[in-house]
Structure 1
Amino acid sequence: MNDAIDNDAVDPLTLPDADRGNWVDRRAPAAMRPFLKMARVDRPIGWWLLLLPCWWSATLAAIAADRPWPNLAHMALFFVGAVAMRGAGSTWNDITDRNLDGKVARTRMRPLPSGQITVRQALASMALQCLIGLVVLLCFNGFTIWLGIGSLAIVAVYPFMKRITHMPQLVLGLAFSWGALVGWAAAFGALAWPPVVMYAAAVLWTIGYDTIYAIQDLEDDEIAGIKSSAQLFGAHVQAAVGALYAAVVALLALALWGVGTGFAGWLGLAGFAGHLAWQTSGISRDEPVRSLALFRSNRDAGLILLAGLLADALTALL
């Protein structure tokens, strides 16, 4: 396809952190595009990062129970729930941040600050996505249902944290990592210390990768009065993320040891650690475009760890 045709096919309102020519801009009905963008459907990295701790935890549970694979129905439900709740959380974030977003170059063309949809329409969209998430949650045991409901308070307060603390990434991590608890709870109807340690690791992972993401907005955030860990760490941002990532690997190692993970699981953790080291080596406050690419690469890092855990679970067949 030549460049002229390609340009015509791209929505002129394509957001800076979305891939050029993504399927929402190319294929979705025009009336639906603002809602899909508000739900971040054009930027799937968000639901991947929400989903991966769920899948890690479900597979960790399989290893602990000496099963060759995690519950596949649960894995599918986690996928649907992650997409729906990522969309609902993003919509809530955009509703609360609609005035701030208009002051930041990367976000001023989002559907709400640019006037493509109204707050009432956004609330209706969020309600629908929450309903989908509730239907998914009700498919699990009672303990998991209440555990899932418990995360909503964190999700509700997160958008306000960037106004009062330089560590909103910590609150994001507490919410985004909840799946590390839910995956195990769905399998056993209770919690144990290995998934709690995995949850702590996922929280620190989130702080690390979202700090990289926040590098994109350093100048605009200062003007708009938005706080972030990238500002807090300043010139030491690379060392800070490196320290966070080292702690992530150490905590994951403890969780894997706690369930008796074998060679394949440790190999997956080694690959994950190597990927995080590569990310850290590329961090620069002067390269916002590279920061977005490094942030997105965390999907691949998470999949490397998942592959190792799945391979280790399969050894139960031997």
Structure 2
Amino acid sequence: MSSAAPSSPSSARSAAHSASDIRPDALVLRLAPGGWRPYLRLARLDRPIGTWLLLFPCWWSIALAQAVRGEAPDLRLYLLFGVGALVMRGAGCTVNDLADRDFDAKVARTADRPIASGQVSPRQALAFLAGLLLLGLVILLQLPATAIWLGVGSLLLVFPYPLMKRITYWPQLWLGLTFNWGALMGWAAVTDGLGWPPVLLYLAGIFWTLGYDTIYAHQDKEDDVLVGVKSSALKLGERTRPWLVAFYAASVLLFAASGWAAGLAWPYDLGVAALALQLAWQIRRLDIDAPLLCLRLFQSNRWAGWLLLAGLVAVPFLE
């Protein structure tokens, strides 16, 4: 971190604004009425990468179950889970920002977040959270019973997550448990049950998240030390690259095992191979001391998600 300090309060505010993770140029913010914008920022609608990373395990699992059955994609299910991921990601971010509002106010990248900056009060945030959870429940009730109970159970992972960075160097593991829960729900939405293929897919997603979120955490490691929170980036430090190799290799093997357990044909193998190449590219490009590069590599996992999904969706058509 640079030792140079801003020369005045106004320049300090300018520096904080330049480091902010809020994107004022995002189309969704420019088009929205002014009063809505703090809530859209609170739900991270200006930064959809988190929604994609939450959504892909759901879509993979739906496609996996339908590939086993030889069925074409069910667009209704894809849409339900798409809206559900958007809503629940917003709920999770609201819970996180409520819990972290004091920490966020001390970090340049997060000081402009709506709760930390005072644009949204804690009471308003709780009301917004209640609305999101109600909408999520409406969506959840469109699914079979097994998927409904799994959805309710996911809240046991969502609400403790903000506390993890205070008590362990592995909050990324808890995030993996949370963000990949949809790998179980998607299968249950198609079959009203569970089985080894979605369980292996879930485990694969956990290792995938451990990798990409460790990369992401390297952006904040200096501020994390200052405010006293923990992360896998701080734990691993210069050993990050070999650990990423292990995390991503485990995820690829488990993705392959999920397809094997489901008896999927060769298009899925191509999807896994393409995903493996994308993950290897991330490891090769990584520089843990380049925050903007870490952000770009983290965001590139959207492409990893699409590559695997393409292989899954192709199975019923090409086997």
User: What's the TM-score bracket when you normalise by the shorter of the two chains?
Assistant: over 0.9
| Secondary structure, aligned partner of 1:70 | coil
Is 1:311 aligned to residue 314 of structure 2?
Answer: yes
* Cα deviation 1:180-218 (Å, max 9, x = unaligned): 000100111110011000000001111111111101001
**Equivalent position of 1:7 in the other structure:** none
C-alpha separation in 2, matches of 1:101 and 1:199: 31
Is 1:27 aligned to residue 27 of structure 2?
Answer: no
Q: Among 89, 94, 113, which residue is 1:91 paired with?
A: 94
Is 1:17 aligned to residue 17 of structure 2?
Answer: no
Q: TM-score, normalised by structure 1?
A: 0.93
C-alpha separation in 1, matches of 2:237 and 2:222: 12
C-alpha separation in 2, matches of 1:124 and 1:154: 21
Q: Among 20, 36, 40, which residue is 2:40 paired with?
A: 36
Is 1:54 aligned to residue 58 of structure 2?
Answer: yes
Question: Cα 1:27–1:75, aligned 2, differ >3 Å: closer, same or farther?
Answer: same
Is 1:290 aligned to residue 300 of structure 2?
Answer: no
Is 1:186 aligned to residue 185 of structure 2?
Answer: no
C-alpha separation in 2, matches of 1:307 and 1:93: 32
Deviation of the 1:19 alpha carbon: 4.8
| Secondary structure, aligned partner of 2:264 | coil
C-alpha separation in 1, matches of 2:204 and 2:127: 34
C-alpha separation in 2, matches of 1:264 and 1:18: 39
- 1:101-112 correspondence to structure 2 within 5 Å: 101-112=104-115
- 1:55-94 correspondence to structure 2 within 5 Å: 55-67=59-71, 69-94=72-97
* Cα deviation 1:293-313 (Å, max 9, x = unaligned): 000110111001101111112
**Equivalent position of 1:267 in the other structure:** 270
The answer on whether the counterparts of 1:238 and 1:280 sit within 8 Å (CA) in structure 2 is yes
The letter for the 2-side match of 1:307 is A
C-alpha separation in 2, matches of 1:112 and 1:42: 16
Question: Cα 1:13–1:234, aligned 2, differ >3 Å: closer, same or farther?
Answer: closer
Q: Among 245, 249, 252, which residue is 2:255 paired with?
A: 252
Q: TM-score, normalised by structure 2?
A: 0.92
- 1:114-263 correspondence to structure 2 within 5 Å: 114-263=117-266
Question: Cα 1:189–1:121, aligned 2, differ >3 Å: closer, same or farther?
Answer: same
Deviation of the 1:238 alpha carbon: 1.4
C-alpha separation in 2, matches of 1:200 and 1:312: 22
What is the number of residues matched between the two proteins?
304
**Equivalent position of 2:6 in the other structure:** none
Deviation of the 1:315 alpha carbon: 3.0
What RMSD, in angstroms, separates the aligned Cα atoms of the two structures? 1.4
* Cα deviation 1:5-37 (Å, max 9, x = unaligned): xxxxxxx96873355621133222111111100
The letter for the 1-side match of 2:214 is T
**Equivalent position of 2:4 in the other structure:** none
| Secondary structure, aligned partner of 1:110 | coil
Question: Cα 1:305–1:26, aligned 2, differ >3 Å: closer, same or farther?
Answer: same
Give every structure 1 segment of 4 or more consecutive aligned residues whose post-TM-superposition deviation is greater than 3 Å: 12-20
**Equivalent position of 1:8 in the other structure:** none
C-alpha separation in 2, matches of 1:13 and 1:87: 22
Consecutive unaligned residues in structure 2, runs of 5 or more? 1-15
The answer on whether the counterparts of 2:42 and 2:94 sit within 8 Å (CA) in structure 1 is yes
C-alpha separation in 2, matches of 1:247 and 1:19: 34
The answer on whether the counterparts of 2:17 and 2:108 sit within 8 Å (CA) in structure 1 is no
